[in-house]
Amino acid sequence: MERIKTLFLLCLVAFTTSVTSRQDNVCFRPQLGDNIEMSGFQRFYSPGEEIALSCKQGYTPVLGPRTIVCIASGEWTTTKLLCIPKRCPYPDQLSNGELDYEDTGYQSKINYTCNEGYTLIGADTAECLANGTWSTSVPECKPVTCGLAPIPQFGMIVYDRRISGNTTEYGDRVTYKCLPPHVVVGDPRAECTASGTWTKTPECQVVTCPLPGNIDRGYVSSNDHRDYDFGETVKYGCTGDYVLEGNLEIVCQQNGKWSEKPSCKAPCSIAIPRGRILYKGRKIWIEDLSPNRVLHKDIVSVYCRDKARNCGYAVPTQCIDGKLKIPDCFEHPSSTEYNLHSSSLPSEITQC
Ligand SMILES: *[C@@H]1O[C@H](CO)[C@@H](O)[C@H](O)[C@H]1NC(C)=O
Ligand SMILES: *[C@@H]1O[C@H](CO)[C@@H](O)[C@H](O)[C@H]1NC(C)=O
Ligand SMILES: *[C@@H]1O[C@H](CO)[C@@H](O)[C@H](O)[C@H]1NC(C)=O
C-alpha cells in the first residue's frame, strides 16, 4: 500500500515539473483576429521569437503593430492590427437600367438589370476583386428594336420622331392616316413594344351608314335613300309644340353607326281649372293661358297658402315630356270662391 502511494506522488511531481518548464519557455501558435494571417507552420515558439502578421488577400491592414513577439511568460505581445476589406469605387449609374448592391467592399456583388424594353449588353453581375477593382465593366442597356411599322392598304404613317434606316426602337410611336374616303378602323396610334413587335396595325376601310330613320313627332333633314359616308351629318326637328331633346345633328361614325338620335318631347297642359299661375315671370289667370299648354322643360309656379301666417307663396313645377305635376300644397278653389272672393286666393293675398 505504502509503495503505491509513493509511486503516485512521484508521478504527480514529474507531471507538474514538465508543465511548469513549458510555460516558462515557449509560446503556442497564436490565435489570430479575423482575416489576419501569419507565415510559418510551427506549433511552439521560443521566447524572443517574432511573427510577422499580414492581412488576407482583399484586406487592408490598419492600426498595428504588424509583428508579435513571444515573451518569457509564454504569451504573445498584443496587437491592435485590423484587416478591413478593400473597397471598390462606387459603380457608375446604368442608364435605362438599375444596379443593385449592398456594399462596395471586397467580394461584394453588383447585379445589373435593364428596364423593360432594354436588353443588357455585357455582364449582368460584377464582383469586387482583391485588388479593389470590379471584375467587369458596367454593361449597357440597349433598347429593343422593331422593324418599320407595317402600312395598311390605302394608309400612311407618320412617325413621332425621324427614323433613319429601317429599325425603330422600343417606345417609338406612329400615327396612322387613311386616304379618303377610307377611314382608320382600329387604334390610329401604334408603338414598338418591349417584345420587338408593333402593336396592332389599324385598317383603312370605307365606312358608310345606312339612311337614318325618322324620330317620333319629328322630321329629318334628308330622306335620300343612299348610304351616308363617315362624317356626314343629318339634322332633326320636331313638329308642333314638341321640343327636341339631345343633339340637333347626328353624325355617321367610324363604326358605321349614327351617333345618338335626339327625341321630341311633348308639351304639357296645366291641370288646374281655376287659379293664377306664374309663367315666364308673369302672373296670369289660367283661363288667359290660351291654349293651356306649356313646353317641355318649361317651369310654371302655382300658389299655395301658408295657413298659419295667412300668406301666399309660389311653388315651381316643371313640364317633363307631357307631364306636369301640380304641387300637393295647391288647393283647387271652388267656383264660388274663385268668382266672388278671388282677392282672398293665395296668389292675391300678401306674399310670404
Ligand atoms: C443578385 O442576384 C442574386 C441572384 O438572383 C441574388 O441572390 C442576390 O441577392 C442579388 N444581390 C443583390 C445585391 O441584389
Ligand atoms: C485586378 O485583378 C484582376 C484579376 O486578378 C486583373 O485582371 C486586373 O488587371 C487587376 N487590376 C489592377 C488595376 O491591378
Ligand atoms: C433593311 O433591312 C434589310 C433586310 O430586311 C437589310 O438588308 C438592309 O440592310 C436594311 N437597311 C436598310 C437601310 O435598308
Among the candidates 265, 292, 311, a domain finishes at 265
Q: How confident is the model at residue 254 (pLDDT cuts 50, 70, 90)?
A: confident
Residues 105 and 70 both lie in one domain: no
Is residue 10 over pLDDT 50? no
- 95 alpha carbon – ligand 1 mean position (Å): 20
Sheet hosting strand 323-324, strand order edge to edge: 282-285, 276-279, 299-306, 311-320, 323-324
Residues 153 and 135 both lie in one domain: no
Q: Is 290 in the pocket of ligand 3 (CB under 6 A)?
A: no
Tell me the one-letter amino acid at 159.
Y
- Look at residue 24 in the predicted model and tell me its pLDDT: 59
In 10 A of CB 331, how many CB atoms?
14
Across 8-22, 176-190, 271-285, least confident range? 8-22
Is residue 11 over pLDDT 60? no
Total domains present in the chain: 5
Residue 20 lies in a domain: no
Q: Which of 131, 136, 137 to mutate to test the pocket of ligand 2 (most atoms within 8 A of CB)?
A: 131
List pLDDT tens digits, range 51-96.
999 999 999 999 878 899 999 888 899 888 999 999 999 998 999 9
Among the candidates 188, 206, 224, a domain finishes at 206
Residue 314 lies in a domain: yes
Q: Which of 86, 106, 128, 133 to mutate to test the pocket of ligand 2 (most atoms within 8 A of CB)?
A: 133
* Cα–Cα distance for residue pair 126/89, rounded to 1 Å: 12
Residues 201 and 223 both lie in one domain: no
Residue 17 lies in a domain: no
List pLDDT tens digits, range 100-116.
999 999 999 999 999 99
Residue 118 lies in a domain: yes
Q: What CATH number corresponds to the domain at position 332?
A: 2.10.70.10
Q: How confident is the model at residue 159 (pLDDT cuts 50, 70, 90)?
A: very high
Is residue 4 over pLDDT 90? no
- 147 alpha carbon – ligand 3 mean position (Å): 10
Residue 221 lies in a domain: yes
Residue 340 lies in a domain: yes
List pLDDT tens digits, range 294-349.
999 999 999 999 999 999 999 999 999 999 999 999 999 998 888 888 888 999 99
Residues 297 and 312 both lie in one domain: yes
Instruction: Please give the grid coordinates belonging to residue 193.
Output: 413594344
Residue nearest to ligand 2 atom 7, measured at CA: 135
Residues 218 and 185 both lie in one domain: no
Q: Is 131 in the pocket of ligand 2 (CB under 6 A)?
A: yes
* Cα–Cα distance for residue pair 203/216, rounded to 1 Å: 37
Ligand 1 nearest atom to the CA of residue 102, by list position: 13
Once rounded to an integer, what is the mean pLDDT over residues 24-45? 86
Residues 281 and 337 both lie in one domain: yes
Residue 92 lies in a domain: no
Once rounded to an integer, what is the mean pLDDT over residues 180-186? 87
Q: How confident is the model at residue 34 (pLDDT cuts 50, 70, 90)?
A: confident
Residues 340 and 280 both lie in one domain: yes
* Cα–Cα distance for residue pair 185/116, rounded to 1 Å: 29
Ligand 2 nearest atom to the CA of residue 131, by list position: 1
- 131 alpha carbon – ligand 2 mean position (Å): 6
Q: How confident is the model at residue 2 (pLDDT cuts 50, 70, 90)?
A: very low
Beta-bridge partners for 319: 324
Range of 35's domain? 25-85
Residue 332 lies in a domain: yes
Q: Taking CA 170 as the corner, what is the angle to CA 165 and CA 172, rounded to the nearest 5 degrees?
A: 65
Is residue 224 over pLDDT 60? yes
Residues 228 and 252 both lie in one domain: yes
Residues 293 and 340 both lie in one domain: yes
246 or 224: whose pLDDT is higher? 246
What percent of the chain has pLDDT above 90? Answer: 74
